[in-house]
Amino acid sequence: MKAFNYHQSTKIIFGTGRINELADIVLQYGKRALLVTTPANITALQQQYDKVKDILKGKNVSVAHFDGVIPNPTVDSISRGAKMARDFKAEVIIGMGGGSSMDSAKAISVEATHEGTSWDYLFFKTPQPDPAKLLPVIAVSTTSGTGSQVTQVAVVTNTQTRDKSALFNDILYPQICIIDPELMLSVPKFVTATTGFDVLCHAFESTIHSNSGPYIDLLAWESISLVHKYLPQVLANLNDPSLRERMAWADTLGGLSIANAGTTLPHGMGMAIGGMYPHVAHGEALAIVYPAFADFTWEAAIPQFAKLARILNPSLVSASDRDAARKSSEEIVEFLKVLGLSKRLRDVNMPENEIEALAKQCMVLPDYKGNPRIATELEMTELIRSVF
Question: Can you give the CATH number for the domain in which 19 is found?
Answer: 3.40.50.1970
Structurally, the chain folds into a number of domains equal to: 2
Look at residue 206 and tell me whether its pLDDT is greater than 90: yes
- What pLDDT shows up at residue 42? 82
- What pLDDT shows up at residue 3? 87
Look at residue 186 and tell me whether its pLDDT is greater than 90: no
Are 212 and 348 members of one domain?
yes
**C-alpha to C-alpha distance for 28 and 6, rounded to whole angstroms:** 26
Are 230 and 132 members of one domain?
no
Domain boundary among 184, 204, 226: 184
Are 353 and 208 members of one domain?
yes
CB 316 within 8 A of CB 324: yes
Domain residue limits at 95: 11-184
The pLDDT of 201-229, averaged and rounded, is 97
Q: Is residue 4 part of a domain?
A: no
- What pLDDT shows up at residue 5? 86
- What pLDDT shows up at residue 46? 92
List the CATH number of the domain containing 241.
Answer: 1.20.1090.10
Are 230 and 348 members of one domain?
yes
Q: Is residue 196 part of a domain?
A: yes
Are 65 and 206 members of one domain?
no
Q: Is residue 2 part of a domain?
A: no
**C-alpha to C-alpha distance for 273 and 369, rounded to whole angstroms:** 18
**C-alpha to C-alpha distance for 16 and 263, rounded to whole angstroms:** 30
Q: Is residue 24 part of a domain?
A: yes
- Alpha-carbon 297 to chain mean position: 22
Q: Is residue 200 part of a domain?
A: yes
Q: Is residue 304 part of a domain?
A: yes
Q: Which long-range contacts (CB under 8 A, 24 or more apart) does 325-331 make?
A: 325/298, 325/299, 325/301, 326/298, 328/294, 328/298, 329/291, 329/292, 329/294, 329/295, 329/298
Look at residue 41 and tell me whether its pLDDT is greater than 90: no
Q: Is residue 205 part of a domain?
A: yes
* 76-112 pLDDT, tens digit each: 999 999 999 999 999 999 999 999 999 999 999 999 9
pLDDT confidence of 19, banded at 50, 70, 90? Answer: very high
Are 332 and 381 members of one domain?
yes
CA distances from 166 to 7, 169, 202, 240, 375 (A): 19, 10, 16, 34, 21
Domain boundary among 140, 160, 184: 184
